[in-house]
Amino acid sequence: MNILILGGGGREHSIAWATKQNPKCDRLIVAPGNAGIAQIAWCAALDIEDGAAVVQFCIENSVDMVIVGPEAPLAAGVADAVRAAGVLCLGPSAAAARLEASKAFTKEVCDAANVPTAAWARFTEAAPAKAHIRSHGAPIVVKADGLAAGKGVVVAETLEQAEMAIDEMFGGAFGAAGAEVVIEEFMAGEEASFFVLCDGEDALPIGTAQDHKRIGEGDTGPNTGGMGAYSPAPVLTAELQHQVMERIVRPTLAEMARRGTPYSGVLYVGLMIENGQARLVEYNVRFGDPECQALMMRLGAQAFDAMHACAEGRLNDARIDWADDHAMTVVMATQGYPGAYQKGSAIGGLETLPETSWQMMFHAGTAEAAGQTVASGGRVLNATARAPGLRDARDAAYALLDQVSWPEGTFRRDIGWRALG
């Protein structure tokens, strides 16, 4: 098969790495890709949010299947366009991608399907939103309704913080994404993510993970896209996974089908767990980044079989062969991230790193310049490793980072602290 992956981060490098190992893969293309992906695939220049351009590219290059990495092309309807052209696609329709693109939409679906989640209310004006906050008290959670690159959520510890967030959102800090605001009850507990492939009817769990969103050690400082992740998430026991499938995933899929917008693709189920009960925090309509890197390291080549079965709507007879293993990925970022940072610094030591089914350095934000690999983004490298135990996986991931010489780079030394105790 000729396979096109849309995206250019560590998530897409790990998907490409797993797909490339599958005998079904003849030609692998990634758009736009990055310097690491370029070593295993053809990196094509393509506007990945332009459905017509993606379809044209598929026809010209005899692409059999498209895997969509990030949410923006999905919200823009790229999966609809690809499927309409008769090409297989992993990723939901724009209508189903509203599970990530609109928080109020997700809450409506949860209410209709009786899915356990935080109590909520929606507002289009500041005064009633503030009155709601005052009557409920802090802590309380304020969210811009639309896509805000992970920045549109404020977990307010005080009423003042919550009111400031309201003013910011209605003041246009997130553009159109903040025209509507959702206010939620604060949920205490431990967070974890659960990943399922869905084909409209059936759902196949493909792993659990926990990530570290804050920049600083001890989970302190500003939020980032994620500074590291590990899989499995110990808090998501087999019993809890069953509970999540029965009370959250299946009712949501049934409600989406009932609305005439069945969900097909990867569903990222963000959960809060307290006292043995899981509640939904959010859905994303794609793999998490960097959670995906840990999942792909564990799944290897069979990840593509599962994604292929999903795109063809035959998940009912798909299965995963699980090894009793653990994976961890540690993000190396440019100093300054998630604030302002410089691009273009040279990264040394990458050529001699081991590349095995146990240890891989996935590239997130790298480019090739004058024969050198340089940093081209905030999150730049994802040191990823797998082992029978999490401690060994962690040591192997950090061992990769020790071999990188990049003075402008930084990483957290404590990824996995919660699970490792």
Smallest distance, ligand AMP to C-beta of residue 14, A: 21
Does residue 191 touch ligand AMP according to CB under 6 A? yes
CB of 12 to ligand AMP, least distance (A): 21
Of 73 and 200, nearer to ligand GLY (C-beta) is: 73
> If you write DSSP's letter for every residue of 65-84 in order, what string do you get?
EEEE-SHHHHHTTHHHHHHH
Nearer residue to ligand GLY within complex by CB, 100 or 255? 100
Piece of 178-186, 214-222, 290-298, 394-402 that binds ligand AMP (CB under 6 A): 178-186
- Would you call 174 helix, strand, or coil by DSSP? coil
What one-character DSSP code corresponds to residue 37?
A: G
Select the residue interacting with ligand AMP from 141, 177, 227, 249 (CB under 6 A). 141
- Residue closer to ligand AMP by CB (options 141, 383) is 141
Residue 211 touches which member of ligand GLY, ligand AMP, none, C-beta under 5-8 Å by kind? ligand GLY
Give the C-alpha separation, 248 to 97, whole Å: 17
- Alpha-carbon distance 116 to 251, whole Å? 11
Binding residues for ligand GLY, per CB under 6 A? 150, 211, 225-226, 284, 288-289, 291
| Residue 294 near residue 329, CB atoms below 8 Å | yes
Burial 13-33 (b: 16+ CB within 10 A, else e): bbbbbbbebbeebeebbbbbb
* Comparison of 51 and 288: residue with beta carbon closer to ligand GLY: 288
Is-contact 46 29, C-beta < 8 A? no
* Under 8 Å between Cβ of 336 and 409: no
Among 144, 187, 333, 396, binds ligand AMP (CB under 6 A): 187
| Binding residue for ligand AMP, selected from 64, 173, 186, 418, defined by CB under 6 A | 186
Number of residues that bind ligand AMP (CB under 6 A): 13
Nearer to ligand GLY, 329 or 359 (CB): 329
* Contact pattern for ligand AMP over residues 262 through 281, marking x by CB under 6 A: --------x----------x
Give min distance, CB of 71 to ligand AMP, in A.
Answer: 11
379 contacts 337 by C-beta, under 8 angstroms: yes
Select the residue interacting with ligand AMP from 44, 85, 153, 320 (CB under 6 A).
Answer: 153
Peptide bond before 32: cis, by omega within 30 degrees of 0? Answer: yes
Least distance to ligand AMP from the beta carbon of 121, Å? 12
219 binds ligand AMP, rule: CB under 6 A? no
Query: Omega before 354 cis (within 30°)?
Result: no
As a whole number of Å, the CA-based R_g of the chain is 21
Least separation in angstroms between residue 313's CB and ligand GLY is 26
Determine if 168 is a binding residue for ligand AMP (CB under 6 A): no
Positive or negative: CA dihedral 96, 100, 105, 109: positive
Peptide bond between residue 205 and the one before it cis (omega within 30 degrees of 0)? no
Choice from 145, 163, 184, 202 touching ligand AMP (CB under 6 A)? 184
Region at 275 (left for phi over 0; alpha for psi -120 to 50; beta for the rest)? left
Q: Which of 1, 95, 155, 179 binds ligand AMP (CB under 6 A)?
A: 155
User: For 315-389, where are the E strands, in sequence order?
Assistant: 326-334, 359-363, 366-369, 372-375, 379-387
> Is 74:13 a contact under the CB 8 Å cutoff?
no
For residue 186, the partner it binds in ligand AMP, ligand GLY, none, with Cβ less than 5 to 8 A by kind, is: ligand AMP
Pick from ligand GLY, ligand AMP, none: which does 191 bind, CB < 5 to 8 A by kind? ligand AMP
What whole-number distance in Å separates Cα of residue 252 and Cα of residue 27?
Answer: 35
- Tell how far CA 399 is from the center of its chain: 25
- What residues numbered 95-134 form the site for ligand AMP, per CB under 6 A? 118
CA distance 10 to 381: 7
- With CB under 5 to 8 Å by kind, the binding choice for 288 among ligand GLY, ligand AMP, none is ligand GLY
Q: Shortest approach of ligand AMP to residue 153 CB, angstroms? A: 4
The footprint of ligand AMP (CB under 6 A) covers 118, 141, 143, 153, 155, 184-187, 191, 270, 281-282
